[in-house]
Amino acid sequence: MAESAAYWRGLQAQAAGSGYTVLEDCRTLDLGMARGGGLAGELLGAMQDATKAAGVRLGTLRHEELMGLFPAMKLDSLATGLLQPDGGVLNKTAADKLLRSLCERQGVLVRDRVVLRGWRDEGDHFRLRTSGALLPDAVSLFEVEQLLVAPEHWPEHAMRLFGAKAEIKVMQSGFLRCDAAASLSKLPVWRSLHMVGGSTDDSPAELQVVGGYPAHVSGRDGSLASMKITSCVPEQQGGPPGTVDDPWSWSPQISISRTWTAAHSRAGKLLRGVGPVMQAAGMSGGIWS
């Protein structure tokens, strides 16, 4: 983790003067129960162990300390928080543009929306036949020294190339924006791990992950503020778990309004000053371990 942070900050240094903001430095706070508090507590404990093992600066805060630092929060007396003072948020769009530009400077030819029609091993190089998705007969030929053909479960295989092993599944994630009190602008980037359901044998408890950013204050007098709240869906509504064989062909579902309603409700229980939803949820897909 420390190496990863150093890597992205190094890229941000390279991006100086390019107009790209790859990494936004900010505090981050993960909230949950202490160890022994079910799955959410065990996950928070595992995060604590991993960050400490990686040499990341981390503060473990109890309920009284959390309320003292962040009076806008409404927390259960058993709540625990992990505060990273050296955290950050990665700007996906800027990172993609910067990495692409760095590759192109090294002579890498980047082509979007190209379909591989065939390839042949020529001994010291590979010959590729490609075309656009809309014009399959307009074939282009390329010669490359290295070729990586992604297998069916490509994320796991790709991670093994770097010595990492993990169970991977594709999840839906998204966000909504709501009115907020200006006092919420003083929060760090936060994330809540919370178990919901489980009242009966037919409805086992599920992990709910809800996060948010500090409120954005606008208006000349600073009286207007809004907050971005994020959430993810661990399984498709009314269907099988959100693990797919081909992530490239996967698209997020639209009708998951209950998820965002629950996320907004959770934020309202955690924070003072969360107002009504003002923007429909945005959708995206993600690969989670």
The CATH architecture of the domain made up of 2-92+165-288 is 2-Layer Sandwich (3.30)
Q: 279 Cβ partners below 8 Å, 6+ apart? A: 176, 177, 178
Q: Give the contacts of 4 (CB within 8 A, at least 6 positions apart).
A: none
pTM above the 0.85 mark?
Answer: no
User: How far is the first Cα of the chain from the last one, in angstroms, to the nearest whole number?
Assistant: 15
Distance from C-alpha of 84 to C-alpha of 59, rounded to nearest angstrom: 6
Q: Are the C-beta atoms of 221 and 61 separated by less than 8 Å?
A: no
- The pLDDT profile of the chain, 289 residues, written as one tens digit per residue, is 566 777 778 888 887 777 788 888 889 999 998 887 778 888 899 889 988 888 888 999 999 999 999 999 999 888 999 999 988 888 888 888 888 888 888 887 777 778 888 889 999 999 999 888 788 888 999 898 887 666 555 666 666 766 766 666 556 677 889 999 999 999 999 999 988 876 666 667 778 889 999 999 987 777 789 999 988 765 444 444 444 444 444 444 544 567 778 889 999 999 999 999 886 555 454 444 3
Distances (CA, A) of 184 to 62, 71, 191, 230: 20, 10, 14, 15
Q: Residue 262, by phi and psi: left (phi above 0), alpha (psi -120 to 50) or beta? A: alpha
Alpha helices in 83-192 (DSSP H): 92-105, 154-160
Q: Domain ranges for the chain, please list them.
A: 2-92+165-288, 119-149
